[in-house]
Copies of this chain bind each other. A is one copy, B any other.
Amino acid sequence: MSIVLADHRYGKAENRVVRFRRDTARHEIVDLNVTTTLRGDFADAYLSGDQSKVLPTDTQKNTVYAYAKEKGVATVEGYALDLARHFVDDVEPVSGARVDVEAYPWTRAQVGGNEHDHTWIRSGAEVRTAAATVSDGDGRQVVHVLAGLKDLTLLKSTGSQFKGFLTDAYTTLPETDDRVMATSLVATWRYGAAALADGFDFDAAYATIREALIEQFATLHSLALQQTLWHMGRSALERVPEAAEIRLLAPNKHHFDYDLARFGTDNHGEVFHAADRPYGLIQAVVANDVFPAAPEAWA
């Protein structure tokens, strides 16, 4: 047998960067969690302990903070792309870089009915995500940008059923015409080349896809979470033609009718127990087939 180093990568995870714009009295906030991952000519660091081609993860951290000022964070996607390009272009042993960003939402505090200039409230568990991947290919660079959201928790109190399913010897679930449907959505979409040209509005595209996801969840009469996901993904891609594909990961957060008949009380879909575990986990990849597939964008 021969034991070999088959693959490797390294980086700095969870740099908590907070960036303010203070050009006027009305400040702006961007609150980020940034992770860098580098690929390249680092085998000697593993095999012989030679670190001469290894850019320390501490340096990557410094760069993450410095770029928040030197390049700025006009959009999270652009900032991730600037960083990924820097590592590949400026650090010789690096042949590929991925920069992942989570952005936490803040809302301006209200004072006397007006938005305050320099005070904010954290507004929700929902997180906006972005990832840029830059790789040296055959004489040219390959660039991918992902965007998305996670922990978008949605719930509908009616308009959802589940019946006509396959049964076997282990099936005990009753059919239902009316149930609570809830999920904590993770959605990630990949932009095609057109979005990487100057001037594409990542923030507007994000808002449009988020709205599409929510509207489909709300308005579609659901025959299953699977069907809901398909319509969510399809609507997102229809509204933003620069998006090549969208991946949806949706826990089915079960809400169980509490049996109040035992106490002589009716419960017409009014009182539920919200369970933690287990949960269904439904996944779908929806693609706009005018774009080529790009599995490397997701590695």
Contacts and interface: CB of A to CB of B under 8 A. Distances in A.
A54 B5 contact: no
A158 B274 contact: no
A286 B97 CA distance: 21
A28 to B, nearest CB: 9
Interface stretch (A74-82, A130-138, A193-201, A256-264): A256-264
Given A155-B120, A165-B51, A165-B54, A280 B13 contact: yes
Contact of A111 (B49, B62, B219): B219
Interface in A144-158: 152-158
Say whether chain A's binding surface is mostly helix, strand, loop, or mixed: mixed
Nearest to A45: B226
- Copies of this chain present in the complex amount to 4
Contact of A288 (B3, B52, B62): B3
Interface residues on A, range: 35 or more
A12 B278 contact: yes
Given A45-B227, A124-B125, A280-B10, A50 B164 contact: yes
Contact of A15 (B18, B29, B211, B278): B278
Given A170-B62, A226-B42, A286 B93 contact: no
A248 B282 CA distance: 28
A47 B230 contact: yes
A142 interface: no
A177 interface: no
Contacts of A164: 50-52
Give the 10 A-B CB pairs with smallest separation, nearest first: A49-B223, A122-B153, A119-B218, A7-B285, A46-B230, A57-B280, A49-B227, A6-B287, A58-B173, A16-B274
Given A45-B224, A119-B156, 13 more contacts: A12-B279, A13-B278, A22-B269, A46-B230, A56-B162, A56-B165, A57-B252, A58-B171, A59-B171, A61-B278, A120-B155, A121-B214, A276-B276
Interface of A: 1-22, 27, 29, 31, 35, 37, 42, 45-59, 61-63, 65-66, 68-70, 90-91, 93, 106, 109-112, 116, 118-126, 152-159, 162-173, 180, 211, 214-215, 217-219, 222-224, 226-227, 229-230, 233-234, 237-238, 241, 245, 251-252, 255, 258, 260, 262-263, 265-290, 293
